[in-house]
Chains A and B, each alone.
Chain A
């Protein structure tokens, strides 16, 4: 393969790039959006900490099931969750409505594709990469998909300065 990269790894890298692209458009502004809905710092922190709750719940089973059933079914399931989460977040008009969508998004991130800030390399993709049996050392495989996510996430928006309401943020997500 070109550059010695396995075809499937290249596909995973492209997926990571696209995912980083999408997530980079909004994740950075989530605290500001939550503030628009009259949340204080502790409440915002609580919403952000949900990612950790989901990670704690999902990671070990994800590793176990990927060892047992393979990684592809989990990746497909998580992609469907991702679509659902994007719809819920785009429709959000208030904090209680945004949170479930955010939670779903977190599940997607952890099950399938490398993501942010939190970041990171994720269980299933890491294992999927490992099973492609490249000549690359395992640790290099693990780090590779992270890099492509990082490239994709460079598209942070220059938020329109007119953004001032939760509705603006909601419309922005939908765009």
Chain B
């Protein structure tokens, strides 16, 4: 219950910040940059996992289909259960869930491990939704369309890069996809925490 009320408080607090055009807003541009790198890190391990499971671990197509179902169930549960978390917490958990996915795909030795990994893939959706919600708090209402467009464009550029990166990594060594993603997520978690730390410092003076 208390978790559900936090976004209300956050939005109220953020309304007190002096908001400028998204393009002239360093905080918003910082968010775009962080989201760009984070989406790459979150996307890379997902792109070719069905190939990896079939070609490397010889998982049947039926089992891969079941994993897809588990991924979607996991996404639904994650979005319903965690969708009301504070934005900063949701973004962190989203990254941790995808890191769990990458770790289980890399180190997992059984179908059950892969099933478990796919359950966590909804962390990607959680992160994206939270990032979009966060971007709204940084702009004026009249700039919402432009802000959403810019954030999704940042996502898009990341989504252009991620499958290609996954393809090259997979060609080099299939496991490299997950190892590289885990390393990148360690960095992006730090970047995201930095973003919220700075924003928190910016909010505090407005409250006093």
Please report A residues at the B interface, Cβ cutoff 8 Å.
20, 24, 28-29, 31-32, 35, 40-49, 51-56, 59-64, 66-67, 110, 117-123, 126-127, 130, 137-140, 142-144, 146-147, 150-151, 153-161, 163
Contacts and interface: CB of A to CB of B under 8 A. Distances in A.
Contacts of B167: 40-46
Contacts of A159: 61-62, 64-65
A67 B22 CA distance: 15
Contact of B155 (A28, A120, A138, A153): A120
B17 interface: no
Contacts, number: 218
A161 to B, nearest CB: 5
- Interface of A, secondary structure class, is helix
25 contacts: A28-B65, A29-B61, A32-B50, A32-B64, A41-B168, A42-B171, A43-B167, A44-B48, A44-B51, A49-B162, A53-B160, A54-B156, A59-B149, A61-B149, A63-B149, A67-B146, A119-B124, A120-B152, A137-B7, A139-B134, A143-B83, A147-B79, A150-B75, A154-B72, A157-B68
A4 B173 CA distance: 51
A158 B7 contact: no
B11 A138 contact: yes
A22 to B, nearest CB: 13
Given A52-B158, A56-B157, 13 more contacts: A28-B68, A29-B64, A45-B163, A52-B162, A55-B155, A60-B150, A62-B149, A120-B152, A123-B148, A137-B7, A143-B130, A147-B76, A150-B75
